[in-house]
């Protein structure tokens, strides 16, 4: 066996599973005489595996006081070869001394190691090398922050000819450009011109808050405009909730799988995120009950997307909503209900929101991104009166207020029932694209034994590949074949299903969907034939 010291991503469970096929057992140690810097990773597969665009890298300083903390593992010769394959060319494996007195293999900066005139790994770092000798020290919470695996994959799709099914972007063809132009002219050409360019209230534009309250009333949720906080996208709402409700090691429960952006918003607060068993209808009530009964510390809240969930596309039906809510009420478990896709239904509107059923126990998030334009960055949070002041304070500390101009433009656009005319056109478009993808998947993946969801609205299809395949490992071959998807693993808080992947159908034409699914089918069949 070999000793392998890691100070970076090889310490991550998901990286170990992908690289070695198992979790390694290690012990804390430190690398002596080295300093750490950061390296931008351009290899799409490595980024997808680690979830990070920047990996730590070390260079020898020759100073005994310089130490880099990490973990030392025992690995076989074959596993050491797998680690070599995982590391990009900027790293070179060398033997180095550890604080414990042991010697271990470690990956160091190959650029410094291979400089002319140097031998082995003895070349000291140049103290003037500011990239390596950074004076900045990150907060512990910053170490837990990761880039979006989706956005890193999207960089790959910039290559010419790649059919992109990886993004969670609404179709730009649905953006009401002319209505926006007219609204901008109206705002800037009237009495609101100068107020729209001035600082604004942190709560948000009163007319917009009233509109949100009126719309929620149509869905059976009676809320006051004073409970509505306008945010800079619903993503900011998640961030504010995390700051107000989460502490380090505080339990937080999510569906299996769940929205990656929510995990990114919650993680910096260093909570203990746990998954609750879920099926095609969402969280399983009995699993939730059993988990709550066994919990030593009750979770701060449970995060749910009941409508056309990202990433699976599933919808929680009426009966499931009632049973899940009954369990939450019984145990006093609050709910954060995220609903960015609720208006994008195809044949029938989804059931009434959880907010309408338990107003004091639910925080609700909504967005204008999917029904107007994401570039406006306009969302909202509806909170119980007792919680609202703290969310408002967090909002004030974050950005004072959401841009007033954007708020006034949206208020101008949506008056006189514009959305009642506009949103049905989005539904019809997405419905046709959903049907095209379902037909293409049936043709290309059906014979392979793969399974997938048939969403009743929203933007996503969730695919589970045949046994023995790993979506993350298939991604490079798919890109080479001319299409891109998102591997499912980043959407799991724990124990990812590596056979899963997410496809978005709303930014592609039926012809592009046909070609993309044909490429995916070819990649899957080739993998199965090996």
Topology at the third CATH level for domain 2-137: Hypothetical upf0131 protein ytfp (3.10.490)
Tokens 């909504």 correspond to what residue?
Answer: 366
Beta-carbon count within 10 A of 44 CB: 18
Task: Mention every residue, 6+ apart, whose C-beta is less than 8 A from residue 269.
Answer: 141, 242, 243, 246, 247, 248, 250
pLDDT higher at 78 or 215? 215
DSSP state of 347: S
Q: What are the residues facing 463 on neighbouring strands?
A: 452, 501
> pLDDT at position 529, please?
93
CA distance 424 to 521: 32
Could you read off the pLDDT of 131-157 as tens digits, one per residue?
Answer: 445 677 778 777 667 666 666 666 666
Degrees (nearest 5) of the Cα angle 446, 450, 456?
80
Per the CB < 8 A criterion, the answer to whether 282 and 314 are in contact is yes
343-354 pLDDT per residue, tens: 999 999 999 999
Angle (nearest 5°) at CA 247 between 203 and 147: 80
Structure tokens at 455: 């969403």
Question: How is residue 388 written in tokens?
Answer: 């609202």
Question: Would you state the pLDDT for residue 121?
Answer: 40
Q: Provide mean pLDDT across the span 311-340.
A: 98
How confident is the model over 390-413, as pLDDT tens digits? Answer: 999 999 999 999 999 999 999 999
Fold of 177-420: 3.40.640
DSSP assignment letter at 30 = E
Domain boundaries, the chain: 2-137, 150-174+421-529, 177-420
Of 80-94, 363-377, 424-438, the range with the lowest mean pLDDT is 80-94
Beta strands in 167-236 (DSSP E): 228-231
Of 67-76, 367-376, 410-419, where does mean pLDDT reach its minimum?
Answer: 67-76
Q: What is the pLDDT of residues 68-118, one digit of tens each?
A: 888 999 999 889 988 998 888 889 999 998 988 889 999 998 876 554 443
150-174+421-529: CATH topology is 3.90.1150
């Amino acid at each position: 066996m070999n000793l392998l010291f890691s100070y970076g991503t090889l310490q991550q469970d998901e990286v170990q599973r992908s690289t070695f096929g198992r979790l390694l057992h290690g012990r804390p140690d430190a690398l002596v005489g080295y300093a750490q810097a950061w390296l931008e990773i351009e290899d799409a597969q490595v980024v997808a595996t680690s979830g990070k665009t920047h990996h730590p890298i070390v260079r020898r300083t020759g100073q005994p006081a310089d130490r880099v903390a990490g973990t030392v593992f025992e690995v076989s010769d074959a596993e050491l070869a797998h680690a070599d394959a995982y590391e990009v060319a900027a790293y070179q494996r060398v033997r180095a001394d550890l604080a414990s007195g042991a010697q271990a293999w470690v990956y160091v900066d190959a650029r410094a190691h291979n400089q002319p005139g140097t031998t082995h790994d003895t070349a000291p770092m140049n103290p003037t090398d500011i990239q390596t000798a950074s004076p900045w020290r990150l907060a512990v919470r910053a170490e837990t922050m990761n880039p979006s695996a989706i956005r890193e994959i999207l960089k790959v799709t910039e290559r010419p000819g790649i059919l992109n099914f990886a993004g969670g972007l609404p179709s730009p063809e649905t953006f009401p450009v002319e209505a926006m132009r007219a609204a901008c002219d109206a705002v800037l050409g009237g009495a609101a011109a100068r107020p729209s360019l001035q600082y604004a209230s942190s709560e948000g534009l009163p007319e917009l808050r009233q509109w949100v309250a009126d719309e929620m009333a149509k869905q059976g949720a009676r809320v006051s405009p004073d409970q509505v906080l306008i945010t800079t996208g619903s993503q900011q709402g998640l961030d504010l909730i995390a700051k107000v409700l989460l502490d380090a090691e505080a339990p937080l429960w999510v569906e299996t799988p769940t929205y990656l952006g929510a995990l990114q918003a919650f993680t910096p607060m260093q909570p203990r995120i746990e998954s609750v068993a879920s099926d095609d209808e969402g969280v399983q009530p009995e699993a939730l009950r059993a988990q709550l009964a066994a919990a030593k510390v009750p979770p701060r809240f449970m995060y749910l997307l009941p409508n056309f969930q990202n990433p699976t596309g599933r919808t929680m039906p009426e009966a499931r909503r009632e049973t899940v809510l009954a369990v939450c009420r019984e145990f006093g478990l609050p709910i954060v209900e995220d609903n960015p896709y609720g208006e994008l239904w195809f044949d029938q509107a989804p059931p009434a929101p959880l907010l309408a059923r338990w107003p004091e126990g639910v925080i609700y998030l909504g967005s204008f991104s999917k029904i107007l334009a994401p570039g406006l960055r306009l969302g909202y949070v509806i909170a119980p009166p007792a919680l609202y002041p703290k969310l408002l304070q967090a909002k004030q500390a974050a950005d004072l207020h959401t841009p007033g101009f954007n708020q006034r433009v949206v208020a101008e656009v949506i008056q006189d029932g514009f959305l009642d005319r506009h949103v049905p056109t989005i539904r019809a478009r997405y419905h046709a694209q959903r049907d095209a993808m379902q037909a293409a998947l049936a043709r290309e993946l059906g014979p392979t034994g793969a399974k997938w969801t048939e969403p009743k609205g929203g933007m996503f299809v969730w695919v589970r590949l045949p046994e023995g395949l790993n979506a993350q490992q298939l991604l490079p071959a798919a890109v080479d074949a001319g299409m891109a998807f998102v591997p499912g693993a980043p959407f799991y808080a724990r124990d990812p299903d590596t056979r899963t992947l997410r496809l978005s159908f709303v930014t592609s034409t039926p012809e592009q969907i046909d070609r993309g699914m044909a490429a995916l089918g070819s990649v899957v069949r080739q993998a199965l034939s090996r």
